[in-house]
Amino acid sequence: MTTGVNIAKLANVFRGRWMMVHELSEIYKPAISRNREKLMELMKEKAEAATKSELAKKMRVLKGFYTVEMAPPRMSEMEKLTADIRLMQDFFKNKCYLFITVRQAWLLFLVGLEVYLWFFLGETLGKRHIVGYKV
């Protein structure tokens, strides 16, 4: 019973505010129509200023990087990937890893560690928790 009364009071409040907004729009409608050209000019100036702002410049640069980095691989890139995989298979098949220098081995280790740590960081960010998944 009390919820019905509360809903009715709330509806009356909203109805009263809607009527007030409607009345104000009717009062200011002629002023808006008279100054339409001025308002359009002001809006154009604000839009031009917004496109020249630092944030807009940064967003254009970000969009450029996003479109390049997030694009699916092209066929030429896939062919290069398959060639690299074949080269790696031949490297291990012919036991060429026995002839690399310590410096080359250290560099390969560091690159592999970097890839692993980026994967680990991505998993940690993805699950939003350091230990285990939230259930």
Give residue-wise pLDDT tens across range 44-93.
888 888 888 888 888 888 888 888 888 888 899 999 999 999 999 999 99
- The two most distant CA atoms of the chain are separated, in Å, by 88
Per-residue model confidence (pLDDT) at position 71: 84
- 10 has a pLDDT exceeding 70: no
- 21 has a pLDDT exceeding 70: no
**In this predicted structure, which of 17-21, 77-81, 96-100, 108-112 has the lowest mean pLDDT?**
17-21
> What is the per-residue DSSP string for 36-79?
HHHHHHHHHHHHHHHHTSHHHHHHHHHHHHHHHHSSPPPHHHHH
Q: Phi/psi of residue 73, each to 5°?
A: -65, 145
- 23 has a pLDDT exceeding 80: no
C-beta separation of 39 from 32 below 8 A: yes
Which residue's structure tokens are 């100036």? 45
Q: What is the pTM of this model?
A: 0.40
Position 59: which residue type?
M
pLDDT of 24-42, one tens digit each? 566 566 655 667 777 778 7
Which residue's structure tokens are 């890139």? 77
Per-residue model confidence (pLDDT) at position 106: 96
- Domain coordinates of the chain in residue numbers? 75-135
